[in-house]
Amino acid sequence: MKFHGGEIMLPEYKNEPCSDFSKQENVTLMLEALKLVDSRKGAHYPLIIGGERYNSEPVIKSINPSNYDEVIGTAASATVEQAEKAIQCAAKAFESWKNVSARERAGYLFKAAAILRRRKFELSAWMVEEAGKNFSEADADTSEAIDFLEYYGRQILDLDKGMKVYPYPGETNECIYIPLGVGVVIAPWNFPLAILTGMASAAIVSGNTVVMKPASNTVVVAAKLMEILEEAGLPDGVVNFLPGSGGLIGDYIVKHPMVRFINFTGSKGVGLRISKLAGEVSPGQKWIKKVVLEMGGKDTIIVDNEADLQAAADSIAVSAFGFQGQKCSACSRAVIVEDVYDKMVDMIKERTEKLKMGAAREPETNVGPVIDKAAYMKIQKYIETGKKEGRLITGGGIQPGKGYFIQPTVFADVEPDAVIAQEEIFGPVLAVIKARDFDDALRIANNTEYGLTGAVYSKNRTRIEKAKREFHVGNLYFNRKCTGALVGVQPFGGFNMSGTDSKAGGADYLLLFTQAKSITERL
């Protein structure tokens, strides 16, 4: 515990521990939370604009991907008029919120973190049902959301001290960070709580107000976050909850002249569209919009001939099939040096076949369903392509039933430039590629348009150092999996078509939502 005279007394930042589901007591807590969630399914969630509730027709229906007959809840789907209202309300709230001290703004985040901690199993249970996350994946998502709140709350207190400048005779000089204005936060469904919480909380703690547009697949989890922010006492209009179809209201909110910045996480296609539209100046607009875009990945784990092969096989399976491969950081390519290739293929197959597929709410499930019908169809198409491009090692099919279940699928002998080696599949499909040697493996690892995460399994120091210099990804790991970056520990963001490398959960992140004002007074 640290004590600072006159400052908020805060424990030192540390990551929220994940729950250990090998302990029966945690499984019991999750099962109880699932019961609670069951009793609340089917509720309707309105838009919340300036603290007022609004409805619309038609509504967004959120479906359980483990059982598509079940509706998790419905949400209002914003119209363009309602989107306009949300932007106006955010602009009005900005006039007072920008003058609220950093310390007070941070306080709302700490309070929201405390509420989230108290409701941890409940929030995780909503994600089990709405996103198809197994217990550990859902719990990690909630933990990460708590981390973002705790971390950005602390970061703003640091940033509030301003930029260090040198003294100059006869003047006082300072350089302070001030907010930008109204922001639009557009989030994906794959970390429905963590990413939405991180993107929105960073923007508001920096003094901005936002229009928060969650992904349509996971509106209920997003509504729960809004509930928590309201419970934390956040003033009306600071966060305006605007579920709605990206296709219908996306362009409108991105192009709006009163919007100062867009904080987006999602696919490359949508991200590039936002980048283009935000670059055009709308009538009445008097600033250059700032865009923070975090997009897709095609992430590689390299296995050298001098490596712990069992550890590599374990990490490849975990990184490729954790949350059904639906992570931007998921391993979708294993590039293996020739000498150990055949052995590794066997080990990956064996490890993958141990994974248990089932409904996300079954405690023993490793691999749950993919998010929706569109993903289910698209991934199966890629599997068909894979059957032409590689040798099917395991999986390749679906599990019949009322969920979107696709078997963890491994293709070996895939060429580095094959479709399944280049395009983001965002599902449980792994391409295994043979490399002549370590240099060839590095070359293959860098041959996509993305640059998000990567990992290298090697015991060879020289090669590790070479990969540190040459493997061009935003998050590079050695001798461990390529997923699971921790807030404050492994700042996260990608190169190339993976995004603007914003490094969420890093000390520079809040700078993206501020502008520096240099102030001099002649004495």
Binding segment for ligand NAP (CB under 6 A), chosen from 186-194, 312-320, 348-356, 510-518, is 186-194
Number of residues interacting with ligand NAP: please give it, by CB under 6 A: 33
Q: Is the dihedral of CA 191, 27, 399, 394 positive or negative?
A: positive
Binding segment for ligand NAP (CB under 6 A), chosen from 181-189, 222-230, 362-370, 432-440, is 181-189
Check residue 323 for interaction with ligand NAP (CB under 6 A): no
Question: Which of 373, 466, 364, 481 lies closest to 427, judged by CA?
Answer: 373
Question: Which of 121, 10, 435 lies closest to 2, judged by CA?
Answer: 10
- Indicate the residue among 305 and 453 with the shorter CB distance to ligand NAP: 453
465 has catalytic annotation:
no
18 has catalytic annotation:
no
Helix H, strand E, coil C: the string for 54-111 is ECCCCEEEEEECCEEEEEEEEEECCCHHHHHHHHHHHHHHHHHHCCCCHHHHHHHHHH
Of residues 408-467, those binding ligand NAP (CB under 6 A):
424, 426, 452
Nearest distance in Å: CB 314, ligand NAP: 23
The SS3 call for residue 368 is coil
Residues 6+ apart with CB under 8 A from 514: 159, 177, 178, 179, 180, 206, 207
Check residue 483 for interaction with ligand NAP (CB under 6 A): no
What is the residue whose two structure tokens read 């099917």? 392
Of residues 94-113, those binding ligand NAP (CB under 6 A):
none
Nearest distance in Å: CB 396, ligand NAP: 23
Q: Which two tokens stand for residue 440?
A: 């060839």
- Phi, psi (5° rounding) for residue 370? -85, 170
Q: Which two tokens stand for residue 92?
A: 């009005």
Q: Looking at 270, 320, 355, 430, which residue binds ligand NAP (CB under 6 A)?
A: 270
CA distances from 290 to 188, 213, 240, 493 (A): 19, 17, 19, 16
Nearest distance in Å: CB 69, ligand NAP: 21
The catalytic residue among 294, 331, 389, 424 is 294
Nearest distance in Å: CB 361, ligand NAP: 22
The catalytic residue among 89, 130, 137, 328 is 328
Binding segment for ligand NAP (CB under 6 A), chosen from 120-128, 185-193, 399-407, 479-487, is 185-193
H/E element, 112: helix 102-118
Q: Which two tokens stand for residue 265?
A: 């996480």
Nearest distance in Å: CB 345, ligand NAP: 26
Of residues 209-228, those binding ligand NAP (CB under 6 A):
213, 215-216
Of residues 337-376, those binding ligand NAP (CB under 6 A):
none
- Indicate the residue among 396 and 499 with the shorter CB distance to ligand NAP: 499
Ramachandran category for residue 236: left, alpha or beta (phi over 0 → left; psi -120 to 50 → alpha): beta
- Indicate the residue among 145 and 336 with the shorter CB distance to ligand NAP: 145
The residues annotated as belonging to the active site are 294, 328
Residues in the site for ligand NAP, rule: CB under 6 A?
Answer: 186-191, 195, 213, 215-216, 245-247, 250-251, 254, 265-267, 270, 273-274, 294-297, 328, 424, 426, 452, 494, 498-499
